[in-house]
Amino acid sequence: MAVMLGLNYTFVSEFILIGFSTFPHLQLMFFLLFLLMYLFTLLGNLLIMTTIWSEHSLHTPMYLFLCALSISEIFYTFAIIPRMLADLLSTLHSIAFLACASQMFFSFTFGFTHSFLLTVMGYDRYVAICHPLRYNVLMSPRGCACLVAWSWVGGSFMGTVVTTAIFNLTFCGPNEIHHFFCHVPPLLKLACGENVLEVAKGVGIVCITALLGCFLLILLSYTFIVVTILKIPSAEGRHKAFSTCASHLTVVVVHYGFASVIYLKPKGPKSLEGDTLMGITYTVLTPFLSPIIFSLRNKELKISMKKAFLKKLFPQNS
């Protein structure tokens, strides 16, 4: 829906999401696949959170950060996937202007909170391996709570900056978003006015700087970690030290690997199908893989999950 403003401009009051319109015969299959992946993502993260809260041995900074990561992941997927699933079954793919702004705000808030928490987790592993004697001081409960809080504040700041910049633009129509959710690049194509290019560059610089900053801090942490691990004389000690980082490092590689494909890919001819399929990697696939990686590659968490599961099945033996 669009309202005339004069000077050949219109005010767009709603948008049409056409991300999956090029796959009309695959929409039911996509719905079933994404629904199963979404439910698995929710259950996986809830299982991680429940296990951490119920097992006293897991009440440590590393697992506090993992619990916060699971919470941010649940909210991130909730901001995007339920709407996407509804659109796959509907013939009407319209989304109100304010609903679109809200979706962008929450997706950026929780997406960047996720990146900041991964950075904090890298710092936690750096302190644990490189400064073990100072770990309890540097990673005190108050300090950990502050790191989690600042991660959420940073994510909210990024969400506010990006959403405010984009939705202060004028949208002139057509109002069709070539994506399955309110994402920045396809929305910028619908904007008009003299400052669109400046806003696009500003938003791009802010997002890439934040992502690269987080990645470089994680890289710096692991540089010191590797140097310290190599100094450990026994092979068993080196393996034990590295195993505490394996799940976090794997998630970082997956997270930033998919993010780099989206944000740092070279400019060239784009297709709606290609943008849609690439968008699935960081909205559906990455959150789906994250709880699997932490559950399978973290030995202590895996053992605690089995113990908690057995307690539920055989309460008389506990």
pLDDT tens digits, 245-300: 888 888 888 888 877 766 665 555 455 556 677 788 888 988 998 888 887 767 77
- pTM score of the predicted model: 0.88
With cut-offs at 50, 70 and 90, classify the pLDDT of residue 314: low
- pLDDT-derived band at 315 (thresholds 50, 70, 90) equals low
Spatial CB neighbours of 240, under 8 Å, sequence gap ≥ 6: none
User: Taking a C-beta distance cutoff of 8 angstroms, is the pair 286, 250 a contact?
Assistant: no
Q: Are 127 and 138 in contact (CB under 8 A)?
A: yes
Q: Can you list the domains of the chain with their CATH numbers?
A: 20-298 (1.20.1070.10)
Q: Are 96 and 174 in contact (CB under 8 A)?
A: no
Do the beta carbons of residue 289 and residue 40 sit within 8 Å?
Answer: no
